[in-house]
Chain A
């Protein structure tokens, strides 16, 4: 029979619109967070990072927001393009300097033409 796997949440966005991808992290002591993008058949690619002493950081077309009170991280992509279609993962490091990243299950972003 068909194997049961992780059900990736999917976000469908019209080309040109803004996308918001959310992530709930597990450890209130985590102090460093990264967003990765994974295209089909490729390894995860770094997008943007943020430390726990910040609540917002901006890159090119991307913004990461961190809400430590509710342990929530979000990635905003402005003017979403077809090339943004991928699976997006957040990752946290529970303890500074351990490099023991914990990855979320991911969100699939589909950009509709």
Chain B
């Protein structure tokens, strides 16, 4: 299995632009998580899905952030409009039973 696949690996954009991060979970995993990692706040859970349905989005910072999971093999995290304080590493993780398997992350820089 290729593991959790995230794209892009790096994204540099200008303030105000829309950013879309993508994730392909491990096949057969029914949970998908989006985390954000910063030096200031560490690893924060943004949202997680079970069987493509959002279960808890209380960690999503504000309305500029949205996440979708149209099918079992794909999820997106969108930021519109992006701001410099959104700069962070965004991780996607999937799980079949409790253990989380993380992707390599997307390093987002908003200038």
Q: What residues of chain A have their CB less than 8 Å away from a CB belonging to chain B?
A: 3-6, 32, 34, 36, 41-46, 49, 89, 91, 93, 98-106
Contacts and interface: CB of A to CB of B under 8 A. Distances in A.
Contacts of A103: 42-43
11 contacts: A5-B39, A6-B41, A32-B98, A36-B100, A42-B104, A43-B102, A45-B102, A49-B98, A98-B56, A99-B31, A101-B33
A6 B42 contact: yes
B110 interface: no
A52 to B, nearest CB: 13
Given A5-B40, A89-B43, A106-B42, A100 B103 contact: no
Interface string B42-61: 11010010100001100000
Contacts of B40: 3-6
Nearest to B43: A103
Contacts of B31: 99
Contacts of B34: none
A43 B91 contact: yes
A104 B44 CA distance: 10
Q: Which 7 A-B pairs have the closest CB atoms?
A: A5-B39, A43-B102, A103-B43, A44-B102, A105-B42, A5-B40, A46-B99
SS of B interface (majority): strand
Contacts of A101: 33, 45, 100
Interface in B55-111: 55-56, 91, 93, 95, 98-105
A49 B103 contact: no
B111 to A, nearest CB: 16
Contacts of B39: 3, 5-6
Nearest to B50: A99
The CB with the most chain B CB atoms within 10 A, among A34, A36, A43, A98, is that of A43
Contacts of A102: 45
